[in-house]
Amino acid sequence: MSIKQYQNLNLDQVCEESYLKNKQAHNVLNHCVTLVDVKQQLKEAKAGKLYKIPYALKDNISTKGILTTACSNILDNYVAPYDATVYQKLKEAGAILVAKTSMDELAMGGSNKTANIGPCLNPYDLNCISGGSSGGSAVSVAANLVPFALGTDTGDSIRKPASFCGIVGVKPSYGRISRYGVIPYASSLDHVGYFCQNVYDASVLLEVLAGRDDKDLTSNTKPVLEYSKLLESDIKDKKILVFKNVLDALDPSSSAYQAFYQIVNQLKEKGATIKEVSFDQDLMRALFPTYYIIANCEATANHANLDGLRFGHQVSGSDIFEIIKNTRSQGFGTFVKKRFLVGSYGLYQENQEAVLRKAQKVRRKIVEAVLAELKDYDCLIAPASAKGALGLNEVCDDTLSDQYLIVENHMVIGNFAGLPSMTIPMGYDSHMPLGINITCNAFDEVGMFQIAQIIEDITGLKDLKKEVVHGL
Amino acid sequence: MKEINYKELANNLMFEISDDEISEVQTEFEVLFKQIELLNKIDTQNTLEMVYPFEFETSYLRSDDHIRTMDLADVLSNAPKTKQGHFVVPKVVK
C-alpha cells in the first residue's frame, strides 16, 4: 500500500496494527531487534508530510532512549543517548517508529545472516536470505508491515535487498541525506537511504529526509527539490546507457537477462535513446576488490572505539587491556573479525601502498571511466543481481567469476562516485523477485525518479507485497 | 606471499581469534590476495588516490561559539562504571 493510500485510513488504528503485525511477523521473518510502542508517539505526532505513517529504522540509526545495537553483541545493551538527524526529521514529519530492524552485524555483509539475532528471512521464500545488510528494513516493507523503512548502503546494502524482496530501494547522492547519528561502516562509501513500495513514495521520502546538516559536514548544501512534483517526463528525451559488462556475464536464457531486455526493448519502442556501454573488463573485475579493501580498512579504523570502556557490552578482565580484548573477542562475530583483519592488514604501513592506496587509485580510475560515459547520458541501467535471493545455506562457489565480481557487485559504483542509484522491481526468477538498478549523475535525483517512473509504468510492478501475517 | 601471523594481527586489533576461526581467516586472505592481483592489472601510474566521492568542499571552520552540548547524564548513560562524572576503568599506571 502506498503512503497516499495509508493517509485515507484511521491512522491511529493503522499504527497499532503495524506494531502488532511486526510483532507477529517477527516470529516468522526474524526481522526486528526492538519493537517501539506507538501510543505516546501518536499523541505527540506532528502535522507533517508523513503524519502518523508507521515506519521502521535499521538498527544502526541512533534513536535516543531506544536500543541501537547494529546487530552486534558488542552493542547489545547500547541505548542511544541522542537522535540521528534522519530520525529527528521523521519525527518532525509526523511519522511513527514501529521497529528497529535487523541487519548484518555493523552493516558488514550482504545476506543479513550475520546479525547477532540470527538470519532475517525473505517473505517470498522463508528458506532464502533477505539480502543485506539492510535486510530487516527490506522485509518489513516487502511483507507490508510498514510502507517505508530506512537503511544504509555502503556497497549495495539497500539496493540488493530491494531486488531480492521485490520493493523499491533508494540510495541518493553522497551527502544528500545526513549520516549524523548513523553508526558508520566505511565513511567514504556510507549512504543513508530507504525502502518503499513505489516510485512516487520514493520521491516524497527524499523531500523529507534530504538536506544539509551542519552536524554532518559531508552533507550537501544543494537545495531539496519537490521531487514528487517533478516525476513526469517525456521518454523521448531520455538517453540511457545499458551496462554491457553486466549483461555479458549473464546467461542469456536467465530470467534476469530476459526481464531486463524486455524493459530495454520497450524503452526503445517508446522513443528513448539506448546505448550499450562496455567498460574495460579488467577495471570491472576490480570493482569488488576495490570496495572490499577500502571498506574494511575504513571500518577497522571506525570501530577501534568499540572497547566496552565507555559504552557497549563490557566483558571483565584483570586490567584495561584484558577488558578491551575480552570485550572485542566476545563482542564481534567471526565474520566481522575476518573483515577487520583484512582492514588492518591493508592499513599496516608496509602494506598501505600495495593494498589501500592501490585500491583508492583504482577507485578513481573506475569513477573516471564511468563518469566519462555517463556525463552525456541520463542514467546507467543493469539487472541488480543475476538471480533471485540465494538459499540460506547456499554460497557463491566462485568469487573470482565475472558473475560474482561484476553482476553481483556493480552497484558499488554508486558508492565510489556518490551517484544517486535505486533499484525497482523488474520481474521474477521463478517465484523470487528481481530488480533493475538505475544509476544517474551526481545529484540528479529528479532524473533518477523520472526514469524509475517510466520503467515502473512499463512493468506495472509497484506496491508488491508478500504478507506472512494475515488480518488481525 | 609473506607468511601472516593471524593471531598476532588479531592481537594488534585487541581481539583474539580461536583456532577454528584461523582456518576461515586463512581462506579469507587467500581470496584477498587473488583479488589484489586483479587490482594490480590496472595501471595506476600518475593516478591520485580517491578518498571521497566528491572533491568539492562541504566543510568549513565555524566560529568558536557555544552551539550545542549533550547532558553529562546522557554521555555517561551507557558507561559500565562511572564516578563523579567520569568513566571509571582499572588503573593503568601501577
Band of the pLDDT at A470, cuts 50, 70, 90? confident
B21: nearest CA in chain A? A334
**Is residue A131 exposed (0-12), middle (13-18) or buried (19+ Cβ within 10 Å)?**
buried
- Which residues 46-85 of B are in CB contact (within 8 Å) with A? 47-54, 58-60, 62, 70, 74-75, 77-80
Residues ≥6 apart with Cβ < 8 Å to A369: A279, A280, A283
Does the CA dihedral A161-A164-A168-A173 come out positive or negative? positive
Give the per-residue pLDDT at A329. Answer: 98
| Chain B residue numbers touching A367 (CB-CB < 8 A) | 50, 53
Give the per-residue pLDDT at A228. Answer: 97
Residues B11-57: tens digit of each pLDDT: 999 999 999 999 999 999 999 999 999 999 999 999 999 999 999 88
A280: nearest CA in chain B? B42
Q: Are A433 and A466 in contact (CB under 8 A)?
A: no
Give the per-residue pLDDT at B62. Answer: 84
Per the listing, cell 548502503 goes with A153
Residues in chain B: 94
CB contact under 8 Å between B80 and A314, yes or no, is yes
| pLDDT, mean of residues A97-110 | 98
Task: Report the percentage of chain B scoring pLDDT > 70.
Answer: 98
3-state SS class at A424 = strand
More confident residue, A470 or A44: A44
| Chain B residue numbers touching A217 (CB-CB < 8 A) | 58-60
| pLDDT, mean of residues A69-80 | 98
Give the per-residue pLDDT at A335. Answer: 96
Task: Report the percentage of chain A scoring pLDDT > 70.
Answer: 100
| pLDDT, mean of residues A332-343 | 97
Q: Is the pTM of the predicted complex or chain greater than 0.95?
A: yes
Of A75-84, A128-137, B59-68, least confident by mean pLDDT is B59-68
Band of the pLDDT at A471, cuts 50, 70, 90? low
| pLDDT, mean of residues A421-437 | 98
Residues in chain A: 472
* Sequential DSSP letters for A338-401: HHHHHHHHHHSHHHHIIIIIHHHHHHHHHHHHHHHHHTTSSEEEEES-SSSPPBTT---S-TTS
**B40 Cα to chain A: minimum distance (Å):** 8
Give the per-residue pLDDT at A347. Answer: 96
A287: nearest CA in chain B? B39
| pLDDT, mean of residues A263-287 | 98
This complex has an ipTM of 0.95
Nearest by CB: A217 against B13, B59, B70: B59
Give the per-residue pLDDT at A317. Answer: 94
Task: Check whether B2 has a pLDDT greater than 90.
Answer: no
Task: Check whether A26 has a pLDDT greater than 60.
Answer: yes
Band of the pLDDT at A396, cuts 50, 70, 90? confident
Nearest by CB: B58 against A217, A283, A342: A217
| pLDDT, mean of residues A170-192 | 98
Band of the pLDDT at A156, cuts 50, 70, 90? very high
Nearest by CB: A364 against B6, B40, B47: B47
- Give the mean pLDDT of chain A: 97
Residues A188-239: tens digit of each pLDDT: 999 999 999 999 999 999 999 999 999 999 999 999 999 999 999 999 999 9
| Chain A residue numbers touching B93 (CB-CB < 8 A) | none
Cα A342 to the center of its chain, rounded Å: 23
Determine contact: B93 vs chain A, CB below 8 A.
no
B44: nearest CA in chain A? A361
Task: Check whether A408 has a pLDDT greater than 80.
Answer: yes
Task: Check whether A339 has a pLDDT greater than 90.
Answer: yes
Task: Check whether A472 has a pLDDT greater than 70.
Answer: no
| Chain B residue numbers touching A69 (CB-CB < 8 A) | none
Task: Give the active site residues of A.
Answer: 58, 133, 157
CA distance A85 to A96: 15
Task: Check whether A397 has a pLDDT greater than 80.
Answer: no
